[in-house]
Structure formats: structure tokens, C-alpha cells
């Protein structure tokens, strides 16, 4: 595993997000986190009003999206085409929900980009994170986005450390990542494409692509 493996182009299909432009000129996906809020406002104002309704201050919802009546939507945010936001979900702000994505009951989003077809369907907290195409977080799994000692987050890989300079950094999930139920993704977690995390896991650092995370120190390559 190398630093190269967690570059944006090796984790994400940028054809599967309305937010591809924000990644331009960046090396690692977490570099977009401080830019999401302003980017949403710029992008939202350029959306086609024939396809998106502006329903509040800096809140854009695709006409084809399904929004439950008990959802709390705070701007800036964009809810993409055919997305579904279910009962009692809390969009805290600075969130892009991709096309066909599912945000489930009692799930909270804050400063995130969800690529198309992402599923965070049951009791999830996703903060300061980027979730790639068809990434799925099982029921009760969360991102922890601030270290308990409040120090800046460092991404720890096998043989390398990358200082992010960020206090708030949840998780970067590559395309088609599967996170098991009730897992905690600790600050600075980066999971490569097509990897799986066992239920009840506490994950930290970099998980290589096409791997199975069984527990810390026990990560095996998929066959």
C-alpha cells in the first residue's frame, strides 16, 4: 500500500457525483472538506430550476427526490435526483446527497459529499466525510470526526503518515465500500475501493482497496 493508493483518482469515479469540480487540482479527498459549504452555494445557484426546487435559503432539492415530511433540511445542501431522505433524517448543512442515494431514518449529515447511489439508511452519523459511489454504511455505523484530545488529524498508512492540518475529519470511503453495522470509523479513516468492514469494528488509519477489515491489525486482501 502506498500514498498513491489513496489519491482521489484511485478512490473515486468522479463521473458519479455532481460535485466533480470541487476535486479538481486536489490530491487527496479530504482536501475538499473546507470548501464544501461555499461550493454548494455556487453549484446550487447554477442548477436548472426545471429539475431542482429551491425550497429555503441555499437548499436545493431535485424534483424527483423523495423527502419525508419529518426531515430537517438546513442549508446549504443539495439533494440529488431520485434520492430518498427518510423519516427524521437531519441534514445539518453543507451536504451534497447524490443521485439515487438513500439517507435513512434518524441519520445525520454534516459537511459531506455523498456520491451517487450511496446508502446511509439507518441511524448513521456522517460528518466531515466523503462517501464514494455505492458506498454503504450499515445500521448504526458512524464517522467520528474529532479526536478526543482535539489534536489535528493525521492519516496513518502502512509506512507513511500524512498530516492533514484539520481538526475535523471523519472518513473517506472509496467506491463500493461496505461498512458493517455499529462500526465506528475513527478520525482520519480512509478506506479504499471495494473494501469491506466487519460489523462492530473500530477502524482507524488506511484500509487498502479490495480488502476485508476484520479487526485492527487483521486486514486481508479479497480473493
What are the residue ranges spanned by the domains of the chain?
A: 3-221
Taking the CB of residue 151, how many other CB atoms lie within 10 A of it?
10
Residue 24 is predicted with a pLDDT of 97
Is the CB of residue 215 less than 8 Å from the CB of residue 8? no
Residue among 158, 6, 36, 27 at smallest CA distance from 44: 36
DSSP conformation class of 152? P
Burial 23-54, CB ≥16 within 10 A → b, else e: beeeebbbbbbeebbebbbebbeeeeeeebee
Rounded to whole angstroms, the Cα distance separating 62 from 82 reads 7
Residue among 95, 118, 127, 120 at smallest CA distance from 106: 120
The CATH architecture one would assign to domain 3-221 is 3 Solenoid (2.160)
C-alpha cell at 22: 470541487
149 Cβ neighbours under 8 A, 6+ residues apart: none
Mean pLDDT in consecutive groups of 10 residues from the start of the chain, 223 residues: 88 98 98 98 97 96 98 97 98 97 98 98 98 98 96 95 97 98 98 98 97 96 92
Residue among 90, 87, 93, 108 at smallest CA distance from 60: 93
Rounded to whole angstroms, the Cα distance separating 167 from 79 reads 27
Pairing between strand 218-221 and 211-215?
Answer: antiparallel
C-alpha cell at 222: 479479497
Rounded to whole angstroms, the Cα distance separating 195 from 135 reads 10
Is the CB of residue 119 less than 8 Å from the CB of residue 103? no
Residue 18 is predicted with a pLDDT of 98
Residue 1 is predicted with a pLDDT of 59
135 Cβ neighbours under 8 A, 6+ residues apart: 114, 115, 118, 119, 173, 174, 175, 176, 177, 178, 179
Amino acid at each position: 500500500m502506498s500514498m498513491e493508493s489513496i489519491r482521489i483518482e484511485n478512490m473515486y469515479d468522479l463521473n458519479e457525483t455532481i460535485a466533480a469540480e470541487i476535486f479538481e487540482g486536489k490530491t487527496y479527498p479530504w482536501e475538499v472538506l473546507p470548501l464544501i459549504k461555499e461550493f454548494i452555494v455556487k453549484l446550487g445557484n447554477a442548477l436548472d430550476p426545471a429539475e431542482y426546487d429551491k425550497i429555503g435559503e441555499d437548499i436545493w432539492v431535485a424534483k424527483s427526490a423523495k423527502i419525508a415530511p419529518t426531515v430537517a433540511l438546513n442549508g446549504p445542501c443539495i439533494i440529488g435526483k431520485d434520492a430518498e431522505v427518510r423519516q427524521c433524517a437531519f441534514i445539518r448543512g453543507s451536504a451534497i446527497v447524490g443521485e439515487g442515494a438513500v439517507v435513512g431514518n434518524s441519520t445525520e449529515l454534516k459537511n459531506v459529499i455523498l456520491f451517487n447511489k450511496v446508502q446511509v439508511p439507518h441511524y448513521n452519523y456522517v460528518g466531515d466525510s466523503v462517501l464514494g459511489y455505492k458506498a454503504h454504511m450499515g445500521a448504526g455505523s458512524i464517522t467520528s470526526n474529532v479526536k478526543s484530545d482535539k489534536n489535528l488529524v493525521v492519516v496513518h498508512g502502512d509506512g507513511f503518515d500524512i498530516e492533514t492540518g484539520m481538526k475535523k475529519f471523519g472518513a473517506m470511503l472509496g467506491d463500493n465500500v461496505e461498512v458493517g453495522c455499529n462500526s465506528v470509523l475513527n478520525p482520519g479513516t480512509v478506506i479504499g475501493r471495494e473494501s469491506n468492514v466487519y460489523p462492530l469494528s473500530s477502524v482507524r488509519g488506511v484500509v487498502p482497496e479490495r480488502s476485508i477489515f476484520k479487526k485492527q491489525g487483521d486486514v486481508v486482501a479479497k480473493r
